Amino acid sequence: MKKSVKDVDVKGKRVLVRVDFNVPMEGGRVTDDTRIRATLPTLQYLLDQGASVVLMSHLGRPDGKVKDELKLAPVARRLSDLLARPVESLADCVGTEVEQKVAALAPGQLALLENLRFHPEEEANDKGFAQQLARLGDVYVNDAFGAAHRAHASTAGVASYLPAVSGLLMQAEIDVIGQALEDPKRPFIAIIGGAKVSDKIGLLRNLIGKVDTLLIGGGMANTFLVAIGCQVGESLVERDKVSEARELIRLADSSAVQLILPRDVVVASAFANDAESKTVSCQQTPDGWRIMDIGPATVKQYSDIIITARTVVWNGPMGVYEMERFAEGTRGVGEAIAACTGVTIVGGGDAVAALERAGLAANVTHVSTGGGATLELLEGRVLPGVAALQDKE
């Protein structure tokens, strides 16, 4: 159990907060402020407690170089609107001028440092760079769950030099996902999709033995279908992972876990939204065609299972949901999860995006803000940004 921001006294102190403001922008404007909004409870709490707040984040992949289109000033403006108070945008994230401006902050004031990744030392977890960042605060709060799987200067290094605790968003992520894995209400159902089984092997191995039922979809299901002898035409298949898929099926069987594969699929004559398409049995994909989505019978089967669950974890879409013609499987699973009265957790960028596109995010218990971090936590791996925080006594 890690200490949270509510376990330390921040009154009159400068609090250095790592946030995940890696948000989409266009024309110098934030186009999706979901990640900014997710940090508001932590920031409002700190301000209400009489702290001054120094925010730091990365944006994009500038590879250690200053890039105008990846500067954080538009993010500061959007945060200012959301908090209804000024947020000063600083020209750098380290250095004498930054230290002077941060020292001048009064309780209740905020400043946002410039993009951390303009400095190559950030991703290198450079000790000197971490020490420079640490000089900007009295207390360190990590509320950037989406970056917690990275051992960078701002996520792990700085925690060596300041009292380090989790923000409210980080705490919620750790608590909800941790509870689901360690002491779930049952039946515990996991729905795993996405393009490649190679990306999810660690996740599947960790879930087998924890869940009661594992529902497989997306492009990764093709490799499992080949493993049980199905013909999948020109579908994406990781031939070098077929034996691994067979092993996972055997592992599930020996662990008394139901591992369920699609019974029907939507296939297309080409990888295109306007291609000819039809629904076939999972064993009858025509030569030259490719699987694009799970079929309606599979959606109903999966939905009937999901609706009975008391804990649900969903990671990865069921098909090529970006193409409207092949989004029905993902949408159907999302609707079943939204209708489930148990604890429902959705993690991973694509599943979250599909849920939000369908307007269902508000009907889910917890929508994780992490992509790779969520996946690694579900795999049972230790996240550097979490490990660096102080433990509760």
Q: Taking the CB of residue 382, how many other CB atoms lie within 10 A of it?
A: 9
pLDDT digits (tens, 9 = 90+) for 343-371: 999 987 788 888 888 888 889 999 988 87
- The tokens describing 126, both together, are 């450079």
Which amino acid, residue 289?
W
Q: Each residue of 251-297: pLDDT tens digit?
A: 999 999 999 999 999 999 999 999 999 999 998 999 999 999 999 99
Q: How far apart are CA 291 and CA 32, in angstroms?
A: 31
What is the rounded distance in angstroms from the CA atom of residue 202 to the CA atom of residue 198? Answer: 9
Backbone angles phi, psi at 342, to 5 degrees: -80, -170
Which pLDDT score, from 0 to 100, does residue 307 have? 97
pLDDT at 371: 79
Whether residue 326 has pLDDT greater than 90: yes
Helix (H, G, I), strand (E, B) or coil at 138: coil
Pinpoint the residues of the chain covered by CATH 3.40.50.1260: 5-170, 184-378
- Per-residue pLDDT band for 330 (boundaries 50, 70, 90) equals very high
Active site residues: 35, 196, 349, 372
φ and ψ at 198, to 5 degrees?
-60, -30
Q: What is the pLDDT of residue 308?
A: 96
CA separation for the pair 282, 114 (Å, rounded): 51
What is the per-residue pLDDT across 299-325, written as a single tens digit (0 to 9) for each?
Answer: 999 999 999 999 999 999 999 999 999
In this structure, what DSSP letter does residue 291 have? E
Question: Residue 367 forms beta bridges with which residues?
Answer: 346
Cβ atoms of residues 178 and 313 within 8 Å: no
Which pLDDT value is given to residue 375?
86
- Contact status, residue 142 vs residue 148, Cβ threshold 8 Å: yes
Task: Specify the 3-state DSSP secondary structure of 388.
Answer: coil
Measured CA to CA, the distance from residue 216 to residue 209 in angstroms comes to: 16
The matching CATH number, chosen from 3.40.50.1260, 3.40.50.720, 1.10.8.350, 3.30.465.10, for 5-170 is 3.40.50.1260
Instruction: Tell me what pLDDT residue 339 has.
Output: 97
Token pair recorded at residue 279:
């629904």
Count Cβ atoms below 10 Å from residue 78 Cβ, excluding itself.
19
Could you tell me the CA-to-CA distances from 352 to 78, 138, 177, 299, 335 in Å, in that order?
22, 35, 15, 18, 13
pLDDT at residue 59, as a whole number: 97
Predicted confidence band of residue 8 (pLDDT cuts 50, 70, 90): very high
pLDDT score at 6: 97
Q: Which fold has domain 184-378?
A: Rossmann fold (3.40.50)
Compute and round to an integer the Cα radius of gyration of the chain.
23
- In residues, how long is the chain? 393
Share of the chain above pLDDT 90, in %: 88
Q: State the average pLDDT over residues 211-230.
A: 97
Section 225-235 average pLDDT:
95
Mean pLDDT of 121-137: 98
Task: Give yes or no for residue 235 having a pLDDT over 90.
Answer: yes
Q: 173-195: per-residue pLDDT in tens?
A: 999 998 998 999 999 999 999 99
What whole-number distance in Å separates Cα of residue 100 and Cα of residue 293? 56
Residue with tokens 């025509």: 286
DSSP 41-74: HHHHHHHHTT-EEEEE---S--TTS--GGG-SHH
Phi, then psi, of 191 in degrees rounded to 5: -115, 115
Sheet strand arrangement including 110-112: 87-89, 110-112, 52-56, 14-18, 139-142, 164-166
Q: Are strands 52-56 and 87-89 parallel, antiparallel or unpaired?
A: unpaired
**Gap between the Cα atoms of 291 and 218, Å rounded:** 9
Q: Helix 220-227 crosses helix 242-254 at what angle (to 10 degrees)?
A: 80
For residue 350, the model assigns a pLDDT of: 81
Residue 159 CA to residue 390 CA, distance in Å, equals 9
Contact present, 200 and 223 (Cβ < 8 Å): no
DSSP of 184-224: --SSEEEEE-SS-GGGTHHHHHHHTTT-SEEEE-STHHHHH
Question: How much is the mean pLDDT over the chain?
Answer: 95
